[in-house]
Structure 1
Amino acid sequence: MLNLKIPLMAWFCLSCLSPIVHGYEVDDSYTVTSAYAKYHKQYPHIRLVDVQPAGKIRFDRVYANINGRELHADLFHPTLEQGQQPLATIVMIHGGGWNSGNKSLFYPLASAMAQRGYLAVTVEYRLAPEAQYPAGLRDINAAIVWLKQQSVSLNINPDKLVLLGGSSGGHMAALLANSADEPLFHADKSITVSTQVKAAIDIDGVLDVSQGDGLKHEDKNGNANSAMGKWLGGNFAQQTERWKAVSTALRINQTSPPLLFLSSGQMRFAAGHELVFAKLSQLGIAHEMVNFAPAPHSFWLFHPWFNRVVDKVDQFILENVVQIQAPIQSQ
């Protein structure tokens, strides 16, 4: 278990705050507070995670400026010996149904991964109340470009980037990892830096919303006010091509990176994984699914699941990106 360095209530409250912004609406309904309150009755053993920084933390570094709107990232650096680089860089995309949440939701996991030797980067991106699809996807790609362009000053290997996300952030991580050459997801078409990453880690984020259970649950019988409907600007019938465009299952290709899927066991959030895994198998691309059932949807935010999430993420990156055998961790 992580030792307490940053006061727990400080992180607890950080995750409750809406960003102080001007000119756009903010949905702050998804926080650690709201998730804890939602799940505690059904899972009375649930516990909050203490936060311990490993090395230097740099908050609110500007990675893009869109007509005066700054977008920020927080960098959690590992403690390194002279001449060492982080094992890899993990770009973390928070969840919140494409409409809510903020980058502080991943502070505990970012701190834990920095302790394991990674540079962890939690990223702010525009949510649906401010800017609908594809704005948020373009923002994440802009953050990847920024990290690669800053690789020398950050002392990172630009070829060892991993996308990780939870819930809607997991959906976005898997989608972007398999869509590096999609012009629609890049605002600045003049930039030639590739946004290809070496691995994707999707924590309970739907992989296909164009058919089957993914469409059933996200479209909610044609409700244009569903979370995805708000993000995409309409229900499946109104915005069919957009719903297909954001389905990872339809984008698997020869350049797709290894994929780790961490599941709560609530299979509506894993919709599309069978098709994705079948395609990855045909292409000989590594993939793995780990089931944490019985667990709440936001299980990665809490004990008793948190340490196991850290172990699996570490193991997968070591074996598929760093390409060394992962040490056996205690469960």
Structure 2
Amino acid sequence: MQLKSKTNYFIVMFAFLISACATPVITHFDDPTNTYNAQTTYQKLKGDYPFITIASTTSPATVKEIKNITYVQYGNRAMQLDLYLPKPSTKKLTPAIIFVHCGGWKHGYRENFTPMAVRMAEQGYAAATISYRLSPEAQYPAAIYDVKAAVRWLRIHAKKYGVDAQHVAIAGGSAGGQIASLVGVTNDEEKFDPQRKSGKVSSAVQAIINIDGLSDFTSETALKYEDDPKKNPSAAGAWFGGRYSEKTELWKEASPINHVSKNTPPILFIGSAQTRFSVGREEMIAKLKPLSVDTQVVLLPNAPHSFWMFDPWLEPSVKSTVEFLNSEFNYVPQR
């Protein structure tokens, strides 16, 4: 009995030491400069738009939320998402939409799209808000790899969450809009998705919603802001690891307009009154139309950038997105 007791003691101590020495999983990259959220943005906007309110992040009884799900892990770094699901009255599978947050490729949080995700779930869609690696942690194309991994995760777990794996949309605002577009126009291209190998689940999406995001980094207007020599580095320069003159091919490669093809998914553009953020949109549409790719544009007059975090602009954004996806997916929500 004494030998057995000592053996058990050593087993417990060994397990304790292993646990104590284990590398903790990191779910959040610590950046004290990352303060871009609805609260700080509201303080900047309320003077010019005194009527706005921060959109609610509370899920109603008709929406089920599942938070902090790890969708991919690199070593001890875990990338996570929050999932918002409609509580259906039938067992019909629901299409899904994945939101890529804003923040100049270097700031922001997935919670910035929680209000829109919740309202999309209210309208009968499964909605996910994702975190991805920002430029202080990993430069381009890490964010693209992350978003495609999130699409693949959702498709792998579609049955578990009642998702229609054949109808997945990608959406994003500002920098997230550019990322969403690039993810969509490079469906299943191995260069942009090195984890995509023969036999693996596809990371392709069937629709794109670009909310106030760039379509062309290399246009004269975009370079004026994104390659501003007074900024060292600019937001885009930090993401690419160099100015346009230094990393020209990356700036071109990351421009969704340069990947347009007959296989490009249908795309909805939602824009504010701040045209600098949607540079390249009209040129991209002009390239898509001869290819018979469906495109729609919804403009919100007098709306500021980051409008998707605030009422009264969230409602028309959701309405436009729902109508577009219902049409493209031939979907009638069961609510």
Normalised by the length of structure 1, the TM-score is 0.88
- Alignment of 1:232 onto 2:240: yes
Q: 1:25 to 1:239 in 2, by over 3 A?
A: same
How far apart are 1:47 and its partner, in Å?
1.1
Q: 1:108 to 1:22 in 2, by over 3 A?
A: closer
Q: Give the aligned partner of residue 100 of structure 1.
A: 107
CA distance in 2, matches of 1:26, 1:183: 34
CA distance in 1, matches of 2:42, 2:72: 32
CA-based RMSD: 1.8
AA in 2 matched with 1:29: T
How far apart are 1:220 and its partner, in Å?
1.2
Does the CA-based 8 Å contact 1:27-1:99 persist in structure 2? no
How far apart are 1:315 and its partner, in Å?
0.6
AA in 1 matched with 2:189: E
* Equivalent in 111, 115, 123 of residue 118 of structure 2: 111
Q: 1:225 to 1:316 in 2, by over 3 A?
A: same
CA distance in 2, matches of 1:224, 1:174: 26
How many percent identity over aligned positions?
34
Q: Give the aligned partner of residue 206 of structure 2.
A: 198
Q: Give the aligned partner of residue 324 of structure 2.
A: 316
Alignment of 1:1-331 (within 5 A): 25=31, 27-50=33-56, 51-53=58-60, 54-86=62-94, 88-190=95-197, 192-221=200-229, 223-322=231-330
AA in 2 matched with 1:30: Y
CA distance in 1, matches of 2:237, 2:54: 32
How far apart are 1:183 and its partner, in Å?
2.4
Structure 1: stretches of 5+ with no match in the other structure: 1-19, 327-331
Query: CA offsets, 1:257-285, max 9 Å, x none?
Result: 11111111211111001111011111111
Moved more, 156-165 or 51-60: 51-60
AA in 2 matched with 1:96: G
CA distance in 1, matches of 2:51, 2:90: 42
Q: Secondary structure at the match of 1:77?
A: strand
AA in 1 matched with 2:39: T
Q: Secondary structure at the match of 2:166?
A: coil
Does the CA-based 8 Å contact 1:141-1:186 persist in structure 2? yes
Q: For the pair shown, which has the larger CA radius of gyration, 1 or 2? A: 2
AA in 2 matched with 1:254: K
Query: CA offsets, 1:92-138, max 9 Å, x none?
Result: 00000000111111111111010000000011111111111111110
How far apart are 1:52 and its partner, in Å?
3.1
Does the CA-based 8 Å contact 2:39-2:54 persist in structure 1? no
Q: Secondary structure at the match of 2:63?
A: coil
Moved more, 196-205 or 49-58: 49-58
CA distance in 2, matches of 1:33, 1:318: 32
How far apart are 1:28 and its partner, in Å?
1.5
Normalised by the length of structure 2, the TM-score is 0.87
CA distance in 2, matches of 1:189, 1:316: 28
